[in-house]
Amino acid sequence: MCANYRQPTPFDHICYSVGDDGTLVGSRVFRDCDELMQKLMSRLLSADELEAWVNGRTERLAEYAKQRQS
35-64 pLDDT, tens digit per residue, is: 888 999 999 999 999 999 999 989 988 988
**Do 19 and 25 meet the contact criterion of CB atoms below 8 Å apart?**
yes
34 Cα distance to chain centroid: 7
CA geometry: angle 42, 6, 47, nearest 5 deg = 10
3-class SS at 30? coil
By residue range, what is the domain housing residue 58?
31-70
Residue 43 resides in a domain = yes
pLDDT greater at residue 22 or residue 70 = 22
| pLDDT band (50, 70, 90) for residue 70 | low
Residue 35 resides in a domain = yes
Residue 2 resides in a domain = no
11-27 pLDDT, tens digit each: 888 888 888 999 988 88
User: Which pTM was predicted?
Assistant: 0.52
